[in-house]
Amino acid sequence: MEGMSEKEENHKMKTRREFLQEVGIIGVGTVLAGTAILAGINYDKKKTPGARVKVLTAENELLEIDKNDATKVKKFKADDLTFLQKQAREGISGKRWVMVVDLSKCKNARKCMSACQDAHRLRPEQHHINVLKMQESKSTPPFYMAKPCQHCDNPPCVAVCPVDATYKRPDGIVLIDNERCIGCRFCIAACPYSARVFNWTEPLHAEEDKDVVYNAELNVPQKKGTVSKCCFSADMLREGKMPYCVSACPNGVYYFGDENEDAVTNGTTKETVRFKKLLEDNAGYRLMPELGTDPRVYYLPPKNRIAPFQDIDKPEAEEHIENNHA
Amino acid sequence: MMDQLKQNKITSDLLSHIRLNYSFKLWMGFLLTTFAICLYAYATQLENGLIVTGLGDYVSWGMYISNFVFFVATSLIGMLISSVLILSGAKWAAPLARIAEIIALAFAAVAGLVIVSDMGRPERLINVFLYGRIQSPILWDVTVVTVYVLISTLLLYLPLIPDMKICYEKLDKTPKLLRNIYKMLSLNWVGSIEQQKIIKKSIFILSILIIPVALAIHTVTSWLFASTSRVGWDSSIFGPYFVSGAFVSGSAAVIIAMAVYRNSYNLKDYITDMHFDKMGKLLVLVSLVYLYFNLNEYMVPGYKMKKFDAMHLHDLFTGSHAFLFWSVQLFGLVIPIILLLFKKMRKPTPMVIIALFVIFGAWFKRYIIVIPTMEHPFLPIQNVPFSFKVYTPTLTESLITLAPIVLVLIIITSLSKLIPIIPVQETIEHYEEETK
C-alpha cells in the first residue's frame, strides 16, 4: 500500500516537471521570436534611402550598394606580421609552381648558391640550394646537380611537423613559419633530400635584422633554434619575378614557371617553353620517385654536357659511392 | 602471539629505511651537486643555442634523442612486472612490483624533460598544445607518455594506501608534516572488506589498462623513426623491436635497484636469492626475444644489401661504428644471455655486474639506432664543415644528457626515503597466507 502511494507521488512529480519544462520552452520561444522581430525592425531602420555608395570590385566592375552594407577594408601594411603570415600560408592563387633543372648545362659556377645565401641571410655552411658532385655508381659518370628543396606534393616534412609550422601551400610551395617552429628537427630527420638546415646559433645578421618584420615567404630574419629551407623565393614570385637562384645562374640551368599554364621560363636566356614538352623531349625525371614524395622539381639528364666534370671534383663525387661499397 | 611478533618484525624491517642517515645525505649531496653542474650546462645551451652540441644539419638528432628512447624504454618494465607478472599469478614478483613501478614512473616522467632539452625553442613548447597536429607522431607520443605517467602514478599509489596508514601509525618519530601527509594519503584506510574490494578492483583494472598504454608509448617512440624513409629506420618491425628491447633495459634497471636497496636497506630477508634467480631468468627470456628481433632487423637487409641500406650496414658491421655495434650486441646481449643460463651466475653479485653491462649496452644500442642513420642520408653531404659529416658529442651535450639520469636517481632515492619500497601490508598478508 505504501509502495503504491509512493509511485503515485512520483507520477505527480513527473507531470509537474513536464509541465514546467513546457512552460520553459514556450517562454524561451517567445523571447526568441520577440528578439527576431526587434532585430528586423532595427535592420529596416538602417535602410534609410539615399545612403548608397559606389564601389569598385576586384574584377574592375563598378557597383552601387547600400552604405550600411559596406564595411571598411582593413588596410594591411607590409610590416604587419599577422598579415604576412596569413599571406604566406595562402600562397599565390591559381598557380602551381615548378622548377626544371637542366643538368647538361651546369658548370658548377655556384652563383645560385651565393645569390640564395645573400637573399636568405644564411651562413656559408647553410644551403637552401646546394650544388652536389654526384655519381650513382663506380661505372657511371659523375655530374653536377643543383639541389633545392623539392617542394614535394606529398611532403614528409609537413606530415611530421607537430605544430603546423611547416606547411604546403595551394600553389605547391612548402614553407616554414619560424615564429611558430619549436625546433624539434623532426622535419630534418624526415626529409630524404637533406633540404633543411637549422639555426644552431644566432643567425649571421641577427643584430642588423633585429627590427625587420618576419616574412615567411623569404624566411628572413632567420631565427636561432628554428629550421630554414628553400622557399622557391615565394617573395619574388609574389612580385612576378624569378627566384634568386634561377636569375643568378649564368649557364641556363634553371627553368621556372607555372604548371597550370604549362610554361616555364629559362632564368638566363628568358626563353619561355612548354613545360611538358621540355620534359618529354629531354627525358625529364624527378629525384627518388620510389619514395612517393612527388617533387615539384624536375631534372633533365646530364646529356651532351656543355662543360666536362672537373677532375678536381672527382674524389668528392666518388666518396658517396665508396661509402656504399657499391 | 607469534603472528603479532612476526608482523611487527616485518613492519619495522620494511619501514626501517625511511629515515635520513649520513650515507643518504652524502649520496644526495653528490647527486644534487652533479645535477647543478648539468643544469649549468643546460643554461649555456639556452643562452647560445644548440651550437654547444656536436649536432649539425645532417646529424640533427643525437644523444638527446637516443637518451629519450632509452628513458621511454626503461620505463616499460613497470608494466611487465607490476602488471603482466602479477596478473599471470607470478606471486614471487609481488615484493618487486613497487620497485618496478618507481622506476617506471621516474623514467617516464623524466623522459618528457629529455625531449625538451633537445628543442631549439623550448619556450615554445606550448605551441604543441596550441597548434598541435594530430598527424604528427610527436603528438601521439606526448599523449601516450602522459597517460602512462598518470596510470603509473596510480599504480604506485593505490597499493600504497594501506602502507600509508601503517607509516602514519608506526613512524612516530618522523616530522609532523610528513606524518600528516601519510595520514592524508591513506584516505582513511581501515582495511574494511569494502575498502579492500575497491582497491583490489581498481588495481586490477589499472593493471589491464596499462598494458596497451605501455606498448603504445614505445611503439609510438619507435615510429618517430620508422615513420621516415631514412635507411636504418625505414623498418616495419620497429615497434616490437623497440618494445622487446625495452624489457631488456628495464629488467636490468630493476636488478640493479633490487641489489642496491637490498644491501643498503638490509632487505635480505625480503629480496632473496630466489628473486634474483627469477629476475635472471626473466632477463634471459626478454633478451632472447630482443636477440630474435635484432637478427631480423640486421640480417634481412644485410642479406640483400640494397644500395642505401648497404651504406648504413657496412658502417655498422665493419665501418666507423663497428666497434660500438659489436660491443653492444656481444656484451650487452649475447654474453649476458649465455652467462645467465648458469645458476651460479643468477646470484646477486654476478647479476649486478651483468645487469650493468646490459644497461650500458642498452644505452649505447639507442645511440647506434639514432646516429649512424643520420650520418647516411640518401644524397651526399657536401659543401659543409667536416663536423657536419661525423657526429662528435661535446662535453656540454654529455652533461645535459647526464642530467636526466641524475634526476632519475634523485627521484628513486628520495622516494625510497619516503615510502616503503617493499609493500608492507602485502608482505604481511602473504605471510599470513603461508602460515595458514
CB distance A192–B124 less than 8 Å? Answer: no
Residue A10 clears pLDDT 60, i.e. is over it: no
3-state secondary structure of A100: strand
A165-175 residue pLDDT tens: 999 999 999 99
Q: Which residue of B has its CA nearest to A227?
A: B120
From CA A82, how far away is CA B373, in angstroms rounded? 38
Confidence of residue A49 (pLDDT cuts 50, 70, 90): low
| Of the candidates A305, A259, A251, the residue with the CA atom closest to the CA atom of residue A282 | A305
B36-92 residue pLDDT tens: 999 999 999 999 999 999 999 999 999 999 999 999 999 999 899 989 988 898 889
Confidence of residue B433 (pLDDT cuts 50, 70, 90): confident
CB distance B50–A183 less than 8 Å? Answer: yes
Looking at the complex, does the CB of residue A315 fall below 8 Å from at least one CB of chain B? Answer: no
From CA A253, how far away is CA A266, in angstroms rounded? 8
CB distance B133–A162 less than 8 Å? Answer: yes
Average pLDDT over residues B411-426: 94
From CA B89, how far away is CA B73, in angstroms rounded? 24
Domains of chain A and any CATH numbers:
96-324 (3.30.70.20)
* A125, A134, A288: residue with CB nearest B385: A125
Residue A54 clears pLDDT 90, i.e. is over it: no
From CA A11, how far away is CA A96, in angstroms rounded? 69
Residues in B closer than 8 angstroms to A183, CB to CB, are 50, 119-121, 124
Average pLDDT over residues B13-18: 91
A259 CB-near residues (< 8 Å, 6+ apart): A96, A97, A98, A172, A275, A296
Among all chains, which residue has been given the C-alpha cell 517567445?
Answer: A30
B140-185 residue pLDDT tens: 999 999 999 999 999 999 999 999 999 999 998 889 999 999 999 9
Query: How is chain B split among helix, strand and coil, in percent rounded to 5?
Result: 80, 0, 20
From CA B207, how far away is CA B154, in angstroms rounded? 10
Average pLDDT over residues B111-130: 96
Q: How many CA atoms lie within 13 A of B126 on its CB side?
A: 3
What confidence score (pLDDT) does residue A4 get? Answer: 47
Taking the C-alpha atoms of B240, B245, B251 and B253 in order, what is their torsion angle to the nearest 10 degrees? -130
| Contact between residue A193 and residue B379 where contact means Cβ atoms under 8 Å apart | yes
Domains of chain B and any CATH numbers:
2-431 (1.20.1630.10)
| Contact between residue B340 and residue B280 where contact means Cβ atoms under 8 Å apart | yes
> What does DSSP say about strands A97-102 and A297-300: parallel, antiparallel, or unpaired?
parallel
Q: Which amino acid is at B69?
A: V
* B55, B311, B379: residue with CB nearest A324: B311
From CA A159, how far away is CA A186, in angstroms rounded? 10
Radius of gyration of chain B (CA): 23
A170-220 residue pLDDT tens: 999 999 999 999 999 999 999 999 999 999 999 999 999 989 999 999 999
* A125, A182, A189: residue with CB nearest B127: A182
Residue A134 main-chain phi, psi, to 5 deg: -105, 150
User: In terms of residues, how long is chain A?
Assistant: 326
Q: What percent of chain B has pLDDT over 70?
A: 100
Residue A2 clears pLDDT 50, i.e. is over it: no
| Of the candidates B112, B114, B134, B116, the residue with the CA atom closest to the CA atom of residue B124 | B116
3-state secondary structure of B436: coil
Residue A65 main-chain phi, psi, to 5 deg: -135, 165
| Of the candidates B39, B85, B65, B359, the residue with the CA atom closest to the CA atom of residue B207 | B85
Confidence of residue A15 (pLDDT cuts 50, 70, 90): low
Residue A21 clears pLDDT 80, i.e. is over it: no
3-state secondary structure of B77: helix
Looking at the complex, does the CB of residue A183 fall below 8 Å from at least one CB of chain B? Answer: yes
Looking at the complex, does the CB of residue A126 fall below 8 Å from at least one CB of chain B? Answer: yes
Query: How is chain A split among helix, strand and coil, in percent rounded to 5?
Result: 35, 15, 50
From CA B115, how far away is CA B118, in angstroms rounded? 5
From CA A171, how far away is CA A195, in angstroms rounded? 19
Residue B219 clears pLDDT 60, i.e. is over it: yes
From CA B346, how far away is CA B360, in angstroms rounded? 19
One DSSP character per residue, B196-246 reads HHHHHHHHHHHHHHHHHHHHHHHHHHHHHHHTS--TTT--TTHHHHHHHHH
Q: How many CA atoms lie within 13 A of A78 on its CB side?
A: 5
From CA B357, how far away is CA B350, in angstroms rounded? 11
- The C-alpha of A311 sits at a distance from chain B's nearest C-alpha, in angstroms, of 17
What confidence score (pLDDT) does residue A20 get? Answer: 63
CB distance B383–A320 less than 8 Å? Answer: no
From CA B302, how far away is CA B296, in angstroms rounded? 10
Residues in A closer than 8 angstroms to B224, CB to CB, are 186
What confidence score (pLDDT) does residue A23 get? Answer: 66
State the average pLDDT for chain B.
Answer: 95
Among all chains, which residue has been given the C-alpha cell 606580421?
Answer: A81
Confidence of residue A3 (pLDDT cuts 50, 70, 90): very low
Residues in A closer than 8 angstroms to B383, CB to CB, are 113, 125, 127, 130-132
**Which A residues 275-294 touch B at CB under 8 Å?**
288, 291
